Amino acid sequence: MSNLNPRQQEAVLYTDGPLLVLAGAGSGKTSVITRKIAWLIQERGVPARRIAAVTFTNKAAREMKERVQALASRGQTRGLIVSTFHNLGLRILKSELAACGLRRGFSILDQADSKEILKEILLQGESEKDAAAVDGVQKRISDWKNELILPDQAVSHASSDDELRAAMAYSGYNRMLRACNAVDFDDLILMPADMFRAQPRILEKWRHRIQYLLVDEYQDTNGAQYELVRMLALPEGHFTVVGDDDQSIYAWRGARPENLARLQDDWPALKVVKLEQNYRSTGRILKAANTVIANNPHVFEKSLWSDYGFGGPIRIAAMRDEDGETDWIAGDLFHRRLQGGLHWRDFAVLYRGNFQSRILEMKLQSLQIPYKVSGGTSFFARSEIKDLMCYLRLLVNPDDDNAFLRIINTPRREIGPATLERLAGWAAQREQGLYHVCEDLGLAEVMPAKALEKLGEFKRWLDQKRRFCFGHNSLQAVNELITEMKYEDWIMQNASSPRIGEKRMQNVWQLVRNIQRMLEKQEEDDDGATDLEAVISKLVLMDMLEQQDQEDDSDRVQLMTLHASKGLEFPHVYMMGVEEELLPHRTSIEEDNIVEERRLMYVGITRARETLTMTQARTRKQYGEKIDTLPSRFIEELPQDDLHYIGEGFEKDEKQETQAAEASIANLRALLD
C-alpha cells in the first residue's frame, strides 16, 4: 500500500458498505481495483471464487486479471471472476439454461446476424429499400432491452404506429431467437436480470456465489446493467464501483451517467472517495480540462491536479482550409520529431469523425510518415465476408445453427420467418440442428409443401458441395459455391453503387485467395493432405489476430476518433477540427446535447501527457462547396492565458509558424528524394 496515495488507500481498505470511487482521468483507478481484489483475498480472507470484477472490454479485463495475478499467487486467485458485463451474463445463462428457456449449445448472434432476422420479419422478401427502417427498429429493440423492457411491455406502451410496428417486430424477433435456441448481445444482460427478478431462489444462489462485486467504468452502464449490479449487491451492498461522470461519452449506445447519482438513492449509506491526483498530464493540461468540464452540471464535484509541472502552453492552430490544416499537422509532426528526438508513436491525432482522417492519411503517406488508424472495420466484420464464412462454417460443421440462420436466405430463397420458426420448433423437438432436419418427412405436418421443398433444395445443394469439398477439390468447391448461388448478382443488386458492389466482391475473392494460400501451405507441411476444416478454424481466429495487431507498439503516429481514444494516453496530442458542428457535432447542437460533447472534449484533452495542440480550418468543403466555419465554443471555455494561437487570423505568429512547417516538409522531401 506504500505506493498508493491516501485517497487510493482509503478506497482499497473500505469494505464496510457500498463504495463509489470517483476516479478522474489518469488517477490510477485500475491500481485501486486490482489492489483491492488482492487485499480482499489476502487480508480479509474472502475466497477468490466469491469475488467478481466487471468492466466493459476484454482488453481491460485481461489487464486487470494479469495485474491481480502479479499481486497474488495463482493459487490464491483460482476461481476469481474478472470479465466484461456480457461475459458475466453469459456465464450466468450457461449455468441456468432451463430457467432461461435455453438449451445447451445456444448461439449468440452479433448485430449483423440479428439484422438479417429482422429484415425477414419486417420486409417479408420485399425490396431492400427499407433497410434504413430495419436499422431504426434494430436500434429501438436494443434500447428496450438495455432498459429491461420486454416485448409485451413495448407493445402495450407503444405511442405511435411506428413504435407499435417496432414493438411487434421485437415480439416476433424474440420468438425467433428462442425457437432457434439463440440470443443476441443485449440478451446477455437482459435475460439474467429478468430471470433474477422472476426467480428469487436463483438470485439468492448468485448472491452467495458473488459475495463482493467490483465494477469499472460505472458511468458507462445502461439501465439493465445497473439493475443487474443492484440485484446482485442487495441487501448488504458489498461492492465498489469506479467511475467518472466527466468521461461518460457513450449515451448513443445506452450509457447513463446518471447511474452514478442513482447509487445515492438506492444506497443512502454510500461512501464516496474522490481520486483527483492525476499521474499522466502537466498542470496546464489539467487546468484546461478542469475549466472546460466545469461548464457541465455535476452531482459530484472534483478537480484534477498533478505533480508533473505546469508545462507549456496549449497551441490553437487555425489554417485556411482542411488541406492547410492537414499540411500543417504533418509538417509540425515531422519538425517536432526531428527537433525533439522523439518517436512517431509519441504522437496521436484525434478527431470527432472517421472521415476527418482521409486527407491527413494522404498527407502522411506522401511524406512517408508511418501511421496507424485505430478502430477501423475488421476484414472479417464486413457483411460479405461474414456471409461467405458462414457458408464455409456450415460446410464443415452442419450443427452450426448460427451460420445456418445467417445464410439460409442470403441470397433470398423465399424462406420466410414463419418457415424458420416452424423449422426451429421441429428441430428443438428432435433435439437436432436446424440443417439436419431440413428434409425430415414430419415437417410436412407443420409447414407448406413449397417451404419444405425450398429447405430440401438448399440442403441437397450444400450436401453436394460438402461431398465435393472433402472428396475432391476444396478450392474448386468454394468457387462453385459462390458462382452457383449467384452471390455476385446479390451483392450488386443490394450495393449502394456499382463501385461499392465491385469492392465488396473484391473482398470475397481476397478471402478465397487466402484460403488457397492456406491450403497450399498445408500441402507443403503435410505431404499433400489438406483440411478445409482446419483452414476455416484458422480464418475464424484471424479477426482476433487483427485486433491484437492494432495493439502493437510499432513506431507509428496514432490516428483515432475521440471516442476510441478513451482509456489511452500519448505524450503529444493533436485534436483536429475543433470547430462548431464538428466538436460539438451538429447533431448534438440540434438535439441540445452539448454536455456529452463537452465530456468528449474533456476526454480528448486528458489524453495528452506533455503537449496539446488543437487545430481548425477556417473553411471546409461540404457537398462540393466551401463554407466558412466557426471555432468551437469549447475553445472559448479554455483558460485564455494558457493558449498560444497560430496561423490564420493571428498575424503575430502566422508567418513564423507557417515557415517552420514548410521548412519541415521541405526537409523531409529532400530526405526522400
Give the pLDDT confidence of 119-138 residue by residue, as tens digits.
878 876 454 546 668 888 99
What CA–CA distance (Å, rounded) separates 253 from 247?
14
Q: pLDDT tens digit string along 302-330?
A: 899 998 899 999 999 999 988 899 999 99
Query: Among 87-96, 267-276, 546-555, which is the least confidently predicted range?
Result: 546-555
> Has 247 been annotated as catalytic?
yes
Q: Of 397, 426, 354, which Cα lies nearest the Cα of 576?
A: 354
Look up residue 75 and give its three cell numbers.
493459487
Q: State pLDDT tens for residues 233-242.
A: 988 889 999 9
Residue 548, pLDDT above cutoff 60: no
Pairwise CA distance, residues 415 & 455, whole Å? 8
User: Where is average pLDDT lowest: 67-71, 197-201, 315-319, 660-664?
Assistant: 660-664
Q: Among 217, 322, 401, 642, which one carries the catalytic annotation?
A: 217
Separation CA 372–CA 609 (nearest Å): 20
pLDDT of residue 130: 60
> Catalytic residue among 216, 244, 440, 642, which?
216
pLDDT at 378: 57
In Å, how far are 7, 63, 82, 243 from 59, measured between CA atoms? Answer: 26, 6, 11, 18
| Pairing of β 314-319 and β 643-647 | parallel
In sequence order, the β-bridge partners of residue 229 are: none
Q: Which residues pair with 573 in a beta bridge?
A: 348, 612
As a whole-number percent, the residues of the chain with pLDDT over 70 amount to 88
Q: Radius of gyration (Cα) for the chain, nearest Å?
A: 28
What single-letter amino acid sits at 402? Answer: N
Residues 304 and 54 sit within 8 Å (Cβ to Cβ): no
Per-residue buried b or exposed e for 333-366, using 16+ beta carbons within 10 Å of the residue's own CB: bbbbbeeeeeebbbbbbbbbeeebbebbeebbee
Choosing from 240, 247, 282, 611, the catalytic residue is 247
Residue 73 has pLDDT above 90, yes or no: no
pLDDT given for residue 658 in this prediction: 54
Amino acid sitting at position 554: S
450 is an active site residue: no
Q: Which candidate in 7, 29, 504, 566 is catalytic? A: 29
Which of 607, 609, 618, 620 is the catalytic position? 607
Q: Is 63 among the catalytic positions? A: no
**Across residues 492-513, what is the average pLDDT?**
85
Active site residue 662: no
Please state the rounded mean pLDDT for residues 20-49: 91
Mean pLDDT of 253-269: 84
Predicted confidence at residue 149, as pLDDT, reads 93
**pLDDT tens, position by position, 280-307:** 999 999 999 999 999 998 888 889 999 8
Long-range contacts of 302-305 (CB under 8 A, 24+ apart): 302/22, 302/24, 302/246, 302/274, 302/276, 303/276, 304/24, 304/25, 304/26, 304/27, 304/276, 304/277, 304/278, 304/606, 305/276, 305/277, 305/278
C-alpha cell at 212: 463482493
What's the CA dihedral at 568, 571, 577, 581 to 10 degrees? 40
